[in-house]
Structure 1
């Protein structure tokens, strides 16, 4: 809610379970509209940029997330701004969206010789990324609980599904990827109880 990222608006909702269970967020449009209305009441305007980071998406779910969750966010903004389309919203300087997911189930591991890579290390070389996706691997934390040469750091894999912020069209292929990499790394350091990002290693 504020420029220092110290005030937040929280929302939660129940997901369908049983035979109707789904990992797709079913009430994203409603929650997004509630949060954006609160922001508008506090600041007298809607935000200029909306960065949505979605955790825990498998490769097989990405298309469904794009078709349902991204579309729900677009629909919420169109309804709040009165825009009839994405082009109409962007033409009138309405809020712009960047929607990225943190992929689960990938098998990428990064090593710097016998040690973990330094926090802030980014790998986006075509040999380590998917040619059909805008994605990168980011070492955002320092391993804790094991010596550095034990290679305990897990490497998140980010995929940009949709972008309007760094490019005028909803086409992330032409986006300056370094900008979102820096942003994702910065967002990893907002945890209020620790001066740095970290992961604790738990022995099984």
Structure 2
């Protein structure tokens, strides 16, 4: 939402268990309009980071969500059709790398941030790479695995890897880089406020150790909410409650940080 790629806004919706984002066109339309109001211009290029996909669902979801993107563009204007680069973000894998020479390691003995592995252990059929986005504080650093399923922007491998790495420095809660692209990180944070079963274990422990703070944060996400305790109960089973949407005061702020 700004020239520094530091301000983000988010939209949250509830759906049944599925890989596809079922309300995607309307959510994207809202985000594109907010971008236009903030910058007085439309996005000229789209780089779409998608988390939460298994490899077997890559191309089904690609087709579905590319159609949703095209539908969104038509909803905005008949002559609007920016190029799209579709990147899958995968944090759950078993690949680890270690520096051969001690002089090439950081202070913890890990691979230095910014290291890219795009040969040898990657797919021979797809454009994918492993990126070490941060310096591990404890234990062995884990790279993030990125797979580019579609690229209309004609980005070179170096350009996309550099963009992805630099985005890790825009995470506003941290004075260092984070382990994967900030847009995907923020999306996971927003999901945490909606559903208590999030895999963001560090944030989960923080929230549960101060339940009143977590309750207040969750309370403001829901329009018409009247009881924080009941709201906390409702969020534990997202399939059984009626989500009214983000409160109007939360729409364009980074509540998930």
TM-score normalised to structure 2 length: 0.62
Tell me the SS of whatever aligns to 1:192.
Answer: coil
Name the counterpart of 1:100. 87
On the 8 A contact 2:35/2:41 being kept in 1, the answer is yes
Is residue 119 of structure 1 aligned with residue 122 of structure 2? Answer: no
In the aligned structure 1, how far is the partner of 2:29 from the partner of 2:14? 17
2:24 aligned with 1:34? no
Write the deviation string for residues 30-51 of structure 1: whole angstroms up to 9, x where unpaired.
1001111122233333111221
Deviating more after overlay: 135-144 vs 100-109: 100-109
Q: Which of 176, 184, 194 does residue 156 from structure 2 map onto?
A: 176
Q: Which runs of 5+ in 2 are unaligned?
A: 103-108, 180-201, 203-257
Q: Deviations over 1:8-51 (max 9, x none)?
A: 222111121xxxx2122111111001111122233333111221
Tell me the CA shift for residue 177 of structure 1.
0.8
1:28, 1:178 → 2: CA distance?
A: 30
Q: Secondary structure in 2 aligned to 1:57?
A: coil
**Maintained 8 Å contact 2:91/2:143:** no
- 2:133 corresponds to: 140
Root-mean-square deviation (CA, aligned residues, Å) is 2.1
> Are 1:67 and 2:55 an aligned pair?
no
The equivalent residue for 2:14 is 14
- Asked if 1:51 is matched to 2:47, the reply is yes
Cα pair distance change 1:5/1:153, threshold 3 Å? same
How much does 1:128 deviate?
Answer: 1.1
The 8 Å contact of residues 143 and 198 in structure 1, kept in 2 or not, is answered as: no
Residue 77 in structure 1 maps to residue 73 in structure 2: yes
| Aligned residue pairs, count | 174
- Preserved CA contact (<8 Å) 2:13 2:23: yes
Residue 109 of structure 1: aligned partner: 96
Describe the SS at the equivalent of 2:170: coil
* Structure 1 counterpart of 2:149, from 161, 180, 183: 161
Q: Hey, what's the Cα distance between the residues in 2 that align with 1:50 and 1:140? A: 21
Q: Which structure has the larger Rg over C-alpha atoms?
A: 2
**TM-score for the superposition, normalised by structure 1:** 0.77
**Partner of residue 130 from structure 1, selected from 123, 137, 144:** 123
Report the Cα offset of residue 121 of structure 1.
0.4
Distance (whole Å) between structure 2 residues aligned to residue 72 and residue 51 of structure 1: 15
Q: Output one character per residue of 1:114-162: Cα deviation in whole Å (capped at 9) or x when no partner.
A: 732110000111x21111111001011111134xxxxx11111100111
Structure 1 CA distance for aligned equivalents of residues 36 and 173 of structure 2: 29
* Structure number with higher helix proportion: 2
Contact 1:101-1:161 at 8 Å conserved across structures = yes
